[in-house]
Amino acid sequence: MIPTNSTQEQPLQKRYNALLADGYDDDPVQRQALTYLAELQPQLAQQQRTPPKGLYLWGPVGRGKTFLMDLFCDSLREDFGNDCTLRLHFHRFMALIHQQLQENSGQEDPLLFVAQGLAQRYRVLCFDEFLVAEIGDAMLLGRLIRHLFSLGVSLVCTSNRPPEELYRGDIHRDRFEPTVQLLRQHLNVVAMEGEKDHRLRSLTHSAAYFVGDHSPLHDLFAPHNDAQLNRDEDILVCNRPISCIAATEQVAWFDFQALCEGPRSHLDYIDLAKRFHTLFLSNVPLLGGKQFERIKARGTEDGAVGSQTTGERQVMVGRSDDPARRFIALVDELYDRRVNLFLNAATSLDSLYQGDLLAFEFQRTISRLTEMASLEYQQAPHQP
């Protein structure tokens, strides 16, 4: 049920209506979600032990989930100050939690200590692209959000999947069910499944994705040659060397193999997105491909060395699914930080991923790369 709205227009709705007046495309699906956010905002100003019910927005790419969450965060900060909310891409939030757990490992219950620290600073946490891949993170997340809810913190999340499909791992799915129920209890779950893809709205095309030919990348990089610091040298990313074709202080050029074929993780891409406002990427190959059966140790992640003793399982993967997964993570981080990306690939964007395992996730990558090839995106300020 949509919460009833007062006759007085809420600050968040005023912001949305101002955008409509400037030509933004009105969308009834967005208005429905906006009603929940508009009702939540004044409730957050009230001091209460039980947190007001948050919001879980899910649906296909381009429906405006991130747009609405950012509009909500901006409105909150204007009304209550910059420290009322923490807004992070979910990958970055989990990286922050793991870092704080390590720093507070001497505490009796380090996860509770971390949750208390968050609750002392923020009334609401906002997660963009909520998705859990590993059972370890799934179990940690369940305990963490239980602590946060008990401490009076509300959540606002966006995801491409409903809560029941939030954990995409294929082992111990039953162990995540209590977390799903917890989310259902404390968050209004709103599906945004409208027909409009707002990322494709009236964008002014500015080429950023090239098939086969390297010369456009050389031409686009040429204005940065005067400020060039190194060429064909390694640069340190997360204190590890990565081969780099060329780099300045704010622009870097890599081969796909260097960024996505080796033991890389989203932490590397977080670092890159902070440091550089423009990235060039050469030789993106066909991704996915014919599937084959592989034994994967439970509990391992991309880039881990050695095997675990917790048992093994058979999984069906494409021959380029691991690089594809890293490529998806790279584009996510660059998009979230408004980093410009220029690349050349083996085939057209719609044909780039030819597997099954990551086909759903790759639709988000296609949508984001389409928007990144626009003047509207390329002229937006970097957000390090």
Cα–Cα distance, 163 to 177 (Å, whole number):
9
Contact 29, 62 (CB under 8 A): no
Q: Evaluate if residue 287 carries a pLDDT over 50.
A: yes
Q: Evaluate if residue 125 carries a pLDDT over 50.
A: yes
Percent of the chain with pLDDT over 90: 49
Cα–Cα distance, 377 to 20 (Å, whole number):
19
pLDDT tens for 66-78 read 989 999 999 988 8
pLDDT tens for 98-118 read 999 999 988 889 999 999 999
Choose among 31, 32, 33: nearest CA to 17. Answer: 31
pLDDT at 1: 32
DSSP 311: -
SS3 166: coil
Choose among 24, 359, 69, 84: nearest CA to 190. Answer: 69
* Torsion angle, alpha carbons of 329, 335, 341, 344, to 10: 50
pLDDT tens for 130-148 read 988 788 888 899 999 999 9
> Tokens 């948050």 label which residue?
54
Cα–Cα distance, 30 to 63 (Å, whole number):
8
Q: Evaluate if residue 5 carries a pLDDT over 50.
A: no
Amino acid at 312: E
DSSP 2: P
Mean of the per-residue pLDDT values of the chain: 84
Contact 221, 88 (CB under 8 A): no
Cα–Cα distance, 5 to 39 (Å, whole number):
7
Task: Indicate the pTM of the whole model.
Answer: 0.71
pLDDT category, 373, cuts 50, 70, 90?
very high
Cα–Cα distance, 234 to 236 (Å, whole number):
7
pLDDT at 2: 36
Percent of the chain with pLDDT over 70: 86
pLDDT at 34: 93
How far is C-alpha 367 from the chain's CA centre? 13
pLDDT at 4: 41
pLDDT at 301: 41
| Backbone φ and ψ of 196, nearest 5° | -80, 130
Mean pLDDT of 347-367: 90
Mean pLDDT of 314-341: 82
State the pairing for strand pair 312-318/251-255: unpaired
Strand order in the sheet with 54-58: 85-89, 124-128, 154-159, 54-58, 187-191
Is residue 319 packed enough to be buried (19+ CB in 10 Å), middle (13-18) or exposed (0-12)?
middle
pLDDT tens for 152-211 read 999 999 998 999 998 876 677 888 899 999 999 999 999 998 777 776 666 788 999 999
Maximum Cα interatomic distance, the chain, rounded to a whole number of Å: 63
Contact 16, 29 (CB under 8 A): no
What interhelical angle do 11-21 and 65-80 show, nearest 10?
120
pLDDT at 78: 84
Q: Which residue has the higher pLDDT, 81 or 191?
A: 191
- Strand segments, DSSP code E, in the chain are 54-58, 85-89, 124-128, 154-159, 187-191, 209-211, 230-237, 240-247, 251-255, 278-284, 291-297, 312-318, 340-345
State the pairing for strand pair 340-345/312-318: unpaired
pLDDT category, 33, cuts 50, 70, 90?
very high
Q: Evaluate if residue 316 carries a pLDDT over 80.
A: no
For the chain, the first-to-last Cα distance in angstroms comes to 38
| Neighbouring C-beta atoms of residue 39, cutoff 10 Å | 20
* Torsion angle, alpha carbons of 27, 29, 126, 71, to 10: 20
> Tokens 């162990």 label which residue?
175
pLDDT at 275: 94
> 383: phi > 0 → left, psi -120 to 50 → alpha, else beta; which?
beta
